[in-house]
Structure 1
Amino acid sequence: MGWIVLLLLAVCAFAALVLLKVPRALWSMVGAALMLAAAGYAWQGSPGQPASLAQPGRDALVADEGLIDLRARMFGRFGIDGAYLTAADALARSGSSRYEVQAILGGIRRDGRSVQLWTALGDALARHDRQLSPAAQLAFDRAAQLDPRNPGPPFFRGLALVRMNDFAGAEQAWQRALALTPVDAAYRDDIARRLFMLRQLRATLDR
């Protein structure tokens, strides 16, 4: 069954290359990636075993699909950075937060000025460490330094603070994220709604 799924993925991948009119010079890279996946499956996979869902590690928080979608709408879904994050997100879904971080670091080694990757690294580290660790703070700071007008870094920093129950700090971060978000941005309502809910929560807790 595993080989059938892998074959279907290969067919879909090359169909996408044709439909998206990707230059043929890049096809070899995709083919190499698929061959590597097949080799890895042959080496470590168990084709004869029944399928089972991977269980997330207990020490890390699993990435939320809604937040992955929001990040994509903030920064864009395509390009080389998007490819690194697609791989990182797949690892996060399987509970491999350590390898998720390594995948993002691979992208940063290629392009150390990517605001998207530094922001994603901060989020991944915060989930992996279950806190806004110094490493996560450094990643968010670097992202904000690269593009001070981008709402992504303060939004995801605020998310890490929410997970730590630092609601006051999170509200401040999300206020800044909303202020930096263009009025016509498709994701502005998402940030505003989360900020409103956070304020409601704080008001309830303060009663």
Structure 2
Amino acid sequence: MSWVFAIGLALAAFVAMVLLFRLPRIVWSAVLAALTLGLAGYAFQGHPDEVGAPSAYHPVAPGDGWALVQARKEVLGEDRLSQNSLMLVSDAFMRKGQFANAAAVLGRLVQQDPKNVEGWVGLGNALVEQADGTMTPAALFSFNRATQADPASLAPAFFVGATYLRQGKLIEGRKIWAQAVENSPKNTWWRNELQQRLDRLDELLNRLAAMPEGNTE
């Protein structure tokens, strides 16, 4: 099964280069060769066919819950943070990697306060992590409700795009981030941050597109 994920990610990267950045046909062979080398390295180092071998996606470790909570607060901004005590309880569960418990608490929070944007974003994140990094219908619903609660917030689009990128859905992820940047007020901190991430991604893929045929360095 891990081979399916690895090959899928490689193909997703190639499709993104071709469709999003109009990768010239003349360099297709070079890029495919580079991706093939990457898969060969994965086969050599990862031992994907052995029992107990690591999969292509590694679930978030309990310690990573700290980073996820911090990222949510930073993207939302201090003026959009919830004062509901249930948010503190859910954050404690998130930091321990207990994502199902965090989701249960946040479900109560948004039921009490349907316009709580941080509650909906946090619920979406908890549901994604509970599903091992997969964007489930319930998680997407939560992020959409966050957008409805605060259309000006970048947080829902940021985390939706990030989740798609983690899944190897590069086209969907980049499209969502680009739309978020386009629809956001200029000169805001997180808009500029997201734009920089898009610029770095574009630069990397454009450099690959500019590679002469046969050059895989």
Question: Contact (CA 8 Å) 2:99, 2:126: kept in 1 or not?
Answer: yes
TM-score (norm 2): 0.58
Provide closer, same or farther for how the CA distance between residues 205 and 190 of structure 1 changes in structure 2, counting only shifts above 3 A. same
Question: Residue 108 of structure 1 aligns with which residue?
Answer: 110
Aligned to 2:156: 153
CA distance, structure 2, for counterparts of residue 172 and residue 165 of structure 1: 13
Residue 77 to residue 116, structure 1, CA distance change in 2 (3 Å): closer
Aligned to 2:77: 73
Letter in 2 for 1:110: Q
Amino acid in the other structure paired with 1:88: S
Which of 187, 190, 197 is the aligned partner of 2:190? 187
What amino acid is the match of 2:115? R
**Aligned residue in 1 for 2:172:** 169
Please give the per-residue CA displacement for 1:2-45, whole angstroms capped at 9, x wherever unaligned. xxxxxxxxxxxxxxxxxxxxxxxxxxxxxxxxxxxxxxxxxxxx
- 1:181/1:84 Cα in 2 relative to 1: closer, same or farther (>3 Å)? farther
Identity %: 23
In 1, Cα distance between the equivalents of 2:71 and 2:176?
16
SS of 1:79's partner is: coil
Distance 1:87 1:191 in 2: 29
Residues 83-162 of structure 1: matches in 2 within 5 Å? 83-129=85-131, 130-162=133-165
CA distance in 1, matches of 2:156, 2:184: 12
Aligned-pair RMSD on alpha carbons?
2.7
How far apart are the structure 1 equivalents of 2:88 and 2:201?
29
CA distance 1:193–1:121, shift in 2 (3 Å): same
Structure 2 match to 1:38: none
Displacement of 1:172 in angstroms is 0.9
Deviation, 1:154, is: 1.3
- The whole-number CA distance in structure 1 between the counterparts of 2:147 and 2:80 is 17
Higher relative contact order (CA 8 A, sep 6+): 2
Gapped regions of structure 1 (runs ≥ 5): 1-57
**1:111, distance to aligned residue in structure 2 (A):** 0.5
What's the offset of the Cα at 1:161? 0.7
* Shift in alpha-carbon separation, 1:201–1:170, aligned structure 2, 3 A: farther
Mapped to 1, the partners of 2:165 and 2:150 lie a distance apart of 23
When the two structures are superposed, what TM-score results if normalisation uses the length of structure 1? 0.60
Q: Deviations over 1:69-114 (max 9, x none)?
A: 423427633522xx43333222112111111112211211210122
Number of paired residues? 148
